[in-house]
Amino acid sequence: NAGVTQTPKFRVLKTGQSMTLLCAQDMNHEYMYWYRQDPGMGLRLIHYSVGEGTTAKGEVPDGYNVSRLKKQNFLLGLESAAPSQTSVYFCASNRELGTDTQYFGPGTRLTVL
């Protein structure tokens, strides 16, 4: 049981390039989330999904797109990367509503030059 995994662990992009971050969970969780962590800002919610085929905007969705084609995967896309998107990205998932806690992946460190 790997829990929540993220691919890649590190990436360096040039301004304007695109990329996709992959999050996978093997716990059959319904809910999945993408956060970014910046110094002095804590974790901020980018997008989330309440089930396969659904997505919704979080606090800071601009510049990102997401897709949840399969229940176990949640993809975060950057169509045209900007230096402001340099951050550490965390994916999380949880099983159900109520008091179920979120389980986090190990993070992806992205640098945009």
Partner 1 sequence: DQQVKQNSPSLSVQEGRISILNCDYTNSMFDYFLWYKKYPAEGPTFLISISSIKDKNEDGRFTVFLNKSAKHLSLHIVPSQPGDSAVYFCAASADYGGATNKLIFGTGTLLAVQP
Interface residues toward partner 1, by CB under 8 A: 4, 31, 35, 40-45, 48, 50, 56, 58-59, 90, 92, 94, 97-107
Which CB, 78 or 105, lies closer to partner 1?
A: 105
Least distance from partner 1 to the Cβ atom of residue 90, Å? 5
Which CB, 3 or 17, lies closer to partner 1?
A: 3
Using the structure block, give the residue that is written with the tokens 């992959």: 22
Least distance from partner 1 to the Cβ atom of residue 17, Å? 24
Least distance from partner 1 to the Cβ atom of residue 43, Å? 4
The one-character DSSP state at 100 is: P
Alpha-carbon span 47 to 71, nearest angstrom: 15
Instruction: Report whether 32 contacts 48 (CB < 8 A).
Output: yes
Q: Which amino acid is it at 73?
A: N
Which CB, 62 or 96, lies closer to partner 1?
A: 96
Beta bridge partners of 20: 77
